[in-house]
Amino acid sequence: MTESMRRRPPFVADERTQLVGWLDLQREIVRWKCEGLTDEEAHRSVIPTSPLMTVGGILSHLRWTEDTWFEVAFLGADPIGRPQFEEGENGAELDLDWQVDEVPLDQLLADYEQACDRSNEIIAAHSLDDVGQQSAWPSGGATLRWMLHHMLEETARHAGHLDLIRELVDGEKGYY
């Protein structure tokens, strides 16, 4: 990916353009951090206390986080059957959205791309002041603006994780 694809949004633009622009920049950084990795490298665990935090695990988690906020929280889709909502005994989180050792990196990237495209379609079709339809959670009634800010925070945080993991996997580093 060329650096020109990783551009900050315009200095002067409307709120939606800037919010989506910053989110898209972070998404591009996530994709960039995956470039050139083998499937083995993408699934290599380098943090002993967090074995699921691999490049592939983060990519899958971000894919499902897009789904959580825009499909489930905002549009009100049923969370049943989605891996990020599966629970074990006594409500323990299973982290199935992170468990992707058998999924090739190319597939994880394609799934992430599709989720981001779908999220952008939802964002484009609604006012930033529209509220989510997921009444089962307090944050499910937040505005689309709030959800966009949250996704920007979530994606940027994990892009930082990818920065460190990538350096530990093969020495590659770079800001953006």
Long-range CB contacts (< 8 A, 24+ apart) of 33-37?
Answer: 33/159, 33/162, 33/163, 33/165, 33/166, 34/59, 34/105, 34/108, 34/109, 34/162, 35/1, 36/170, 36/172, 37/105, 37/166, 37/169, 37/170
CATH of the domain at 21: 1.20.120.450
* Cβ proximity of 42 and 54 under 8 Å: yes
Coil, strand or helix at 131? strand
| Residue 31 covered by a domain | yes
| Residue 147 covered by a domain | yes
| Residue 3 covered by a domain | no
| Residue 28 covered by a domain | yes
| Residue 121 covered by a domain | yes
The domain in which residue 152 lies consists of 11-170
Percent of the chain past pLDDT 90, that is, above it, reads 86
| Residue 97 covered by a domain | yes
pLDDT digits (tens, 9 = 90+) for 87-138: 888 888 899 999 999 999 999 999 999 999 999 999 999 999 999 999 888 8
pTM of the model: 0.94
C-alpha atoms less than 13 angstroms from C-alpha of 59 in its C-beta half-sphere: 32
| Residue 2 covered by a domain | no
Counting the structural domains of the chain, the total is 1
pLDDT digits (tens, 9 = 90+) for 141-167: 999 999 999 999 999 999 999 999 999
| Residue 118 covered by a domain | yes
